[in-house]
Structure 1
Amino acid sequence: MDCIAIAVPNAASLSNAKFDGEREWSDLLPDILHLVSKRLPDLCDFFRFRAVCKNWHSESPVSDPPPQLPWLLTRPTSFENQLQFYSLSHDKFLTLSVPESHGMELMGPSQKYVFASDQACSSLMLINPLTGEEVPLPSIDLDWCFPISTSLNCDGYVSICGGKTESKIQTLGLCRPGDNNWTVIRKALEGCLMIYSRGMYYVYSPKTGITEAVDVTSGVVIATISPPPTKLSCLVESCGELLGIFCDHRSLNDPECNIYRLVYEDKFGKWVQISSIGDQILFIDGGQGLSISARGSIESERNCIFYLGSHELIKFDGVTTTYYLAKYDIEARSWEKKSLPSMEKPGWFLPNQYH
């Protein structure tokens, strides 16, 4: 291949060059602005970047933020219209006014949209707390419900679990925004871990260790998966695969964390233990979680699991709950624990959707 010679001016010629004038920061090319905005390590920086001028604002839309660690979403008790987002990267709170969330309970983990419900489940919706966008969902005759996957699945479905106060039978519901009704099946699910993935409900029973793959329309059990070698404490989808996880983050000096992937051979599923999740990062809250790809400024957190945990302290005036973060480095097999500032029922929130 022929080489091409490029003449590069030396420093002397540059110093003698005449310029028409200094270039304004607001006139930076859109491609350069985009590259800069995607390198910002935290959304707080991203919002400050957008606020510099109209040009920077238009070239860095909220719908395309930089890769980052999820925030912890919480609502201050005294501010019904306001939400707080705690940044792990900056160890700071960002407070936003979200009138659309007034009177609603917000539940996660969630990506981009937060699942919101009133006390009677008569008003259900998805809310984007950064833009104020509302996505209405059908009402459902339940006394309580919560999402069993991240709030809007990659195939556009919302999945919930709920029930009646006096009943031992729970309801699994599935719908797409715009549907008039939920597709429901009813099943005894007390104490089970549940997740919706690719047209199936996966229900794990800690009592038996068995996982059932349930058809979402008929309620028929399509497959019964034998117990993994150890119990599971969480089900999470990562890169299109279903992972079962058991981690004991209470004993930091004696790390125990087992990760299993559900694989199918001749239509029979089984849990296979794995030693790495590659470039993924898992964020767990109770029996649920979300997975993101470690890119850009968060590459150093690859192959790690973040657990949101809590402690309850009984006092004379009631029970006080404090929260902490436990990070497990899978390769190093080590735990790191961090106390969190005072929050009200925090949950994971990822402003953008990427895997």
Structure 2
Amino acid sequence: MMAAEKKPHSQPALSWSSIPLDLAGLVLRLLPTYADRARFAAVCPQWRAAARRQQQQLPPPLPLLALPDGTFYSLPYTKPFRFPGCGFAGYQSACGNWLVFPRDDGCFLVDPFSRETVTLPALSSVRLRPPNAVAKWSEDGTVKYADPYTTWMHINTSEKLHISKLILCSPNLVAALVGIGYTSQILMCQPGALSWSVRAYDRCKRFEDMSFYQGKLYAVANDENLLVVNISQDQSTGDPQVSRIGQVIEGEPWYPVVFADNTIPCKKLYLVEGHGALLMVRRAIWCKVPGPGMRGKVVARESSFEVFEADFEHSRWVKVSTVGDDQVLFLGRRCSRSMSVSQYGLPGNRIFFLDDDEDNRIEYAYDEENTSFGVYSMRFRSIRSGAPNISWKRCAEMYLAAWLFPEDR
């Protein structure tokens, strides 16, 4: 009698949810965008747990491009999206992962990724140092002018007063450049505080940018002087305040000159940390001016870039020819960052930049109605459009495009 045939045991069906956590981590490291990582975590509880476990080891995702109408782009994708449940339209600035919404009764920072909110004081609530400070004026005939120079007391009542740059330096320290047009001053507060603090008689400067670098706050002015902002605590309230602003590097700036071909360079400066160094990026926007005896607008054309590293030991700026073969600088008036991109298979040594001027800080016009972000190659010294399919109208409310960095969560 023949033995009965043994039936093979059926193998259980494999599921994507059974992927080993280590392998899931390798997959996550190859996803360059916040949107991709969010989709990965939404597949199942196991993948969500893998994403949480790997969060601290993952390289930061590429930034989002935010527009004030509530539209976002998740680079390198070119399809616009909106966060579900809230459009986040109407922000006035951005800082890392925060969108900034000034209101008459205060300022609100919102993280669109976690929906966390931080409150800051209104610009009308500022604690003066000294508390009895007053504006000092002189007159020359019918002309009234600030004496001996413009201070916070000369600009604090202007209807055009606004935040041009805001940094969350730490959980207990917020710094802001606040002013009108090109003239601004540095204010400080704690999150949730009732007022800002300002040195009322310090001279307002044409500040271009600020950066919190290795535990210190730095600012660069249009003359390319690098300033360090020393911070202390108010003895009665414990609130942070500026104790002194000192110069650490004297700049060697150039100033606009009209060339024979009727072009003139207009300058923008950015401060950004890159490869552990503090960098100043000088952007020249080459503009066409009307010829002699002709009337017309100053029109912006192409841009060029120079990068300088702060040499603190010798108190000087040192020009560099590269930002790193694996690095990309994302430059914007509101927020700038340096990021490694080699793990995503993207070329480095490039600068991604925005045309994000403010109405009261612009010296030129544009021929084209639409704009996008541009990409400058440090290696080839050339510019191309970052993504032809990503564009927005170049009008007042849309100058405020900004990079948003979700890795700060």
Q: What are the residue-to-residue correspondences of 1:1-355 with 2, within 5 Å?
A: 20-61=11-52, 64=55, 67-76=60-69, 83-97=70-84, 99=86, 101=88, 105-108=91-94, 110-118=95-103, 120=104, 122-141=105-124, 144-146=161-163, 148=165, 151-153=167-169, 157-163=173-179, 170-186=184-200, 187-189=202-204, 191-197=206-212, 198-206=215-223, 209-216=224-231, 217-218=241-242, 220-223=244-247, 225-228=249-252, 230=254, 233-239=268-274, 240-248=276-284, 256-265=304-313, 269-278=315-324, 279-286=326-333, 289-297=336-344, 299-309=345-355, 321-338=369-386, 339=388, 340-342=390-392, 344=398, 345-353=400-408
What is the CA-CA distance between 1:62 and the residue it aligns to?
A: 11
Could you tell me the TM-score, scaled by structure 1's length? Answer: 0.73
Q: Which amino acid aligns with 2:185?
A: T
Once the two structures are overlaid, the 10-residue window that deviates more, 55-64 or 124-133, is 55-64
Q: Secondary structure at the match of 1:220?
A: strand
Change (3 A) 1:211 1:311: closer
Change (3 A) 1:228 1:320: same
What is the CA-CA distance between 1:300 and the residue it aligns to?
A: 2.4
Q: Tell whether the 8 Å contact from 2:98 to 2:111 is kept in structure 1 after alignment.
A: yes
Q: Secondary structure at the match of 2:354?
A: strand
Q: Which amino acid aligns with 1:277?
A: V
Q: Secondary structure at the match of 2:11?
A: coil
Q: Secondary structure at the match of 1:258?
A: strand
Q: Distance in 1 between matches of 2:168 and 2:279?
A: 19
Q: Tell whether the 8 Å contact from 1:223 to 1:269 is kept in structure 2 after alignment.
A: no
Q: Distance in 2 between matches of 1:214 and 1:230?
A: 24
Q: Tell whether the 8 Å contact from 1:282 to 1:305 is kept in structure 2 after alignment.
A: yes
What is the CA-CA distance between 1:60 and the residue it aligns to?
A: 2.3
Larger radius of gyration: 2
What is the CA-CA distance between 1:191 and the residue it aligns to?
A: 3.6
Q: Tell whether the 8 Å contact from 1:162 to 1:171 is kept in structure 2 after alignment.
A: yes
Give 5+ residue unaligned stretches, structure 1.
Answer: 1-16, 77-82, 313-318
Q: Tell whether the 8 Å contact from 1:159 to 1:175 is kept in structure 2 after alignment.
A: yes
What is the CA-CA distance between 1:310 and the residue it aligns to?
A: 6.4
**After superposition, what is the alpha-carbon deviation per residue over 1:170-204, rounded to whole angstroms, capped at 9, x for unaligned?**
43122343555434234444543131433334231
Q: Distance in 2 between matches of 1:57 and 1:196?
A: 34
**After superposition, what is the alpha-carbon deviation per residue over 1:247-271, rounded to whole angstroms, capped at 9, x for unaligned?**
3365999874211111122xx6211
What is the CA-CA distance between 1:70 and the residue it aligns to?
A: 1.2
Change (3 A) 1:230 1:70: farther
Give 5+ residue unaligned stretches, structure 2.
Answer: 1-7, 125-155, 232-240, 256-266, 288-299, 359-366
Q: Distance in 1 between matches of 2:339 and 2:229?
A: 26
- Give the alignment's Cα RMSD to 1 decimal: 3.8
- Give the number of equivalent residue pairs: 314
Change (3 A) 1:200 1:152: closer
What is the CA-CA distance between 1:123 and the residue it aligns to?
A: 1.8
What is the CA-CA distance between 1:285 and the residue it aligns to?
A: 2.1
Q: Which amino acid aligns with 1:238?
A: E
Q: Distance in 1 between matches of 2:13 and 2:406?
A: 37
What is the CA-CA distance between 1:56 and the residue it aligns to?
A: 2.3
Q: Tell whether the 8 Å contact from 1:116 to 1:125 is kept in structure 2 after alignment.
A: yes
Q: Tell whether the 8 Å contact from 1:147 to 1:159 is kept in structure 2 after alignment.
A: no
Q: Distance in 1 between matches of 2:29 and 2:320?
A: 32
What is the CA-CA distance between 1:132 and the residue it aligns to?
A: 0.8
Q: Distance in 1 between matches of 2:286 and 2:203?
A: 30
Q: Distance in 2 between matches of 1:156 and 1:98?
A: 30
Q: Which amino acid aligns with 1:137?
A: L
What is the CA-CA distance between 1:305 and the residue it aligns to?
A: 0.6
Q: Distance in 2 between matches of 1:295 and 1:184?
A: 42
Change (3 A) 1:19 1:334: farther
Once the two structures are overlaid, the 10-residue window that deviates more, 135-144 or 236-245, is 135-144
**After superposition, what is the alpha-carbon deviation per residue over 1:263-320, rounded to whole angstroms, capped at 9, x for unaligned?**
122xx621111112223321112485222233421x52322111112699xxxxxx99
Q: Which amino acid aligns with 2:29?
A: K
